[in-house]
Chain A
Amino acid sequence: MSTDLSAHADALQAVLSAKGLLQPADLEDFHHKVTEDWLPRNGARLCARAWVDPTFKAELLKDGRAAAANMGFPMPEHHRSLVVLENTAELQNVICCTLCSCTAFSIIGMAPGWYKDLEYRARIVREARTVLGEMGLHLPEAMRIRVWDTTTDTRYMVLPYRPPHTQGWTTEALEALITKESMIGVARLEPPYAAAPATSTGAA
């Protein structure tokens, strides 16, 4: 959908400003949030730390919202819980929202265009393997798939499976591997699903 909503936004902005309900700073503050604060690197930091720090991983899996807040990543009030779903070599978790397009946007970044499209919302719960394949993630039959539909104030994040060849990497190098797609669960980070990253740049 490529509708240009400038005329809609201009009109709403004009009437709300005229009523004294909207200030220019409101728009600037939100723009800052979505371009500087609510980025997938937040979730990547949580996941990379969970990979290297078993105590933190246990905290993240037990109470994701509290663990995220302790790392400096607060969530909006209506994101009342964060449940972290751990992928393994045999298990792929994938998140969706069939009723609207809910995501833990302050942690994994704003929902991508495709996540909000009718195709993904309609199909991922019923034909996950085919949909993931269309998105480039071709899973073997032995890989189990768990789909999580975001229908309440609980938000979900997938903890990706750590690529086996990254032992000894710095936390920063691990963070750089972790993408928004991998935390939604439509991508994996290890071969053969992704290229093996160069160890020369990632080794500690």
Chain B
Amino acid sequence: MDGVHDLGGRQGFGPVQFHGHTDPFHGEADIRIAAMWVRMGRHGLYNMDEYRHAIERMEPRHYMVASYYERTFTAVASLCVERGVFSAGELSAAAGFAVQLSRPSREGRVGEANLPDIDVGDRVRVKEDFVPGHIRMPGYIRGKEGVVVGMSPVYPYPDAHGHGLESPWQRTFDVRFSSRHLWPDSAEESEVHVGVFHGYLVKVA
């Protein structure tokens, strides 16, 4: 989905607050929330793609102001409610305020059966796919061309895995893009590498 979580290349943000902002956690509550995220995952309530997608499904204005661990909290709570572990009312009653949950999931998709042969050194183009569900293709590479510099073993296909659908696992390719190709006349010079699932790519002759 083309959500506000897809931040790469978005303009208008100010300087990175680096000094004094290196701690991973802002308090012990953050650590407890992270612990509950891990524990519920181990119970099999969700996989990592379902978890990430539950964050992406947060109402956009909520996403933009929530801290990192508030997003974690919202995803875990939303998935628990969607799986019937507890109700939204039970959680809000325990909190003493109306807990805001993520918006409902839409449909995922399974991977295509016949994928092109792609190897390191090949020139590839990212498909112009638009989907309502989970996808791990940042919008800034959509339709763009690059060169494959690395290849991974097969991983779960996020577009299916994020929706509980069965689908063959896919390799991913580290693709090197020129920043000046991604944002013509509007980027500083660098080589930007993105891990791209096989199914998102076509080979360029």
Contact = CB atoms under 8 A, between A and B. Distances in A.
A113 B26 contact: yes
Contacts of B186: 126
Interface residues of A, number: 71
Contacts of A131: 16
Contacts of A69: none
A5 interface: yes
Given A1-B67, A127-B188, A148-B193, A11 B99 contact: yes
22 contacts: A2-B26, A3-B66, A8-B29, A8-B99, A9-B29, A12-B33, A21-B43, A26-B35, A29-B35, A112-B24, A113-B26, A118-B7, A119-B14, A126-B182, A145-B189, A146-B193, A147-B191, A147-B192, A150-B195, A151-B196, A152-B155, A154-B152
Nearest to B31: A31
Nearest to A149: B194
B34 interface: yes
Top 3 nearest A-B pairs by Cβ distance? A98-B8, A30-B35, A110-B24
A199 B40 CA distance: 49
Given A9-B29, A21-B85, A154-B195, A130 B188 contact: yes
Interface of B: 5-11, 13-18, 21-27, 29-36, 38-40, 43, 47-48, 52, 55, 64-70, 73, 76-77, 80, 85-86, 90-92, 94-97, 99, 136-138, 140, 150, 152-153, 155-156, 172, 174, 176, 179, 182-183, 186-197
B27 A114 contact: no
Interface of A: 1-16, 19, 21-22, 26-27, 29-31, 34, 78, 80-81, 83, 98-101, 109-114, 116-123, 125-131, 134-136, 144-154, 180-181, 186
Given A122-B9, A151-B194, A11 B94 contact: yes
Contacts of B65: 1
Contacts of A27: 31-32, 35-36
Given A135-B16, A153-B152, 14 more contacts: A2-B67, A3-B67, A4-B29, A7-B97, A9-B73, A11-B94, A16-B36, A16-B85, A81-B152, A113-B26, A119-B16, A120-B16, A122-B11, A126-B188
A29 B11 CA distance: 40
B31 A149 contact: no
Contacts of B64: 118
B137 A151 contact: yes
Contacts of B16: 114, 117, 119-120, 123, 131, 134-135
A128 B68 contact: no
Nearest to A137: B18
Nearest to B179: A126
Contacts of B7: 98-99, 118, 121-122
Contact of A114 (B18, B29, B183, B197): B18
B9 A144 contact: no
A88 to B, nearest CB: 14
Contacts of B68: 1, 101, 113, 116
B5 A99 contact: yes
Given A109-B24, A120-B16, A149 B195 contact: yes
